[in-house]
Amino acid sequence: MRLNSPKINIITKACMKASRSLIRDFGEIENLQVSSKGPGDFVTSADKRTEKIIIEELQKAHPDYGIITEESGIINKANTNNRWIIDPIDGTTNFLNGIPQFAISIGYEEENEIKCGVIFDPIKNEMFFAEKGNGAYLNNSRIRVSNKKKLKDALLVTGGPRQSSKIKEEIFSEFIKVSNSILSPVRKFGSAALDVAYVACGRFDGYWQRELSYWDIAAGIIILKEAGGFIDFFEPDNEAPLKKNVLASNANIHDELSDLIIKKNIE
Ligand code: IPD
Ligand code: CA
Ligand code: CA
Mutate to test the pocket of ligand 1, among 216, 243, 246 (most ligand atoms within 8 A of CB): 216
Residue ranges of domains in the chain: 6-142, 151-266
d(CA 119, ligand 3 centre) in Å? 12
Q: Is 50 exceeded by the pLDDT of residue 88?
A: yes
Q: Which residues hold their Cβ within 5 A of ligand 3, which is an ion?
A: 70, 87, 89
CATH architecture of the domain with residue range 151-266: 3-Layer(aba) Sandwich (3.40)
Measured between alpha carbons, how far is 12 from 19 in angstroms, rounded to an integer?
10
Measured between alpha carbons, how far is 246 from 243 in angstroms, rounded to an integer?
10
Q: Is 70 exceeded by the pLDDT of residue 39?
A: no
**For atom 14 of ligand 1, which residue has the closest CA?**
92
The rounded radius of gyration (Å) of the Cα atoms in the chain is 18
Dihedral sign from CA coordinates of 236, 210, 161, 15: negative
Q: Are 12 and 129 in contact (CB under 8 A)?
A: yes
Neighbouring-strand partners of residue 209: 246
> Mean per-residue pLDDT for 30-57?
72
CA angle (245 as vertex; 112, 213 as ends), nearest 5: 65
Residues 128-170 pLDDT 10s: 999 999 999 999 999 999 999 999 999 999 999 999 999 999 9
CATH class of this structure's domain 6-142: alpha beta
Residue predicted with more confidence, 70 or 1: 70
Dump the DSSP string for 50-81.
HHHHHHHHHHHH-TTSEEEETTTEEESTT--S
Helical ranges in the chain per DSSP H? 6-27, 45-61, 92-96, 168-179, 192-200, 214-226, 254-261
Measured between alpha carbons, how far is 32 from 96 in angstroms, rounded to an integer?
9
* pTM assigned to the model: 0.94
Q: Are 96 and 190 in contact (CB under 8 A)?
A: no
d(CA 169, ligand 2 centre) in Å? 22
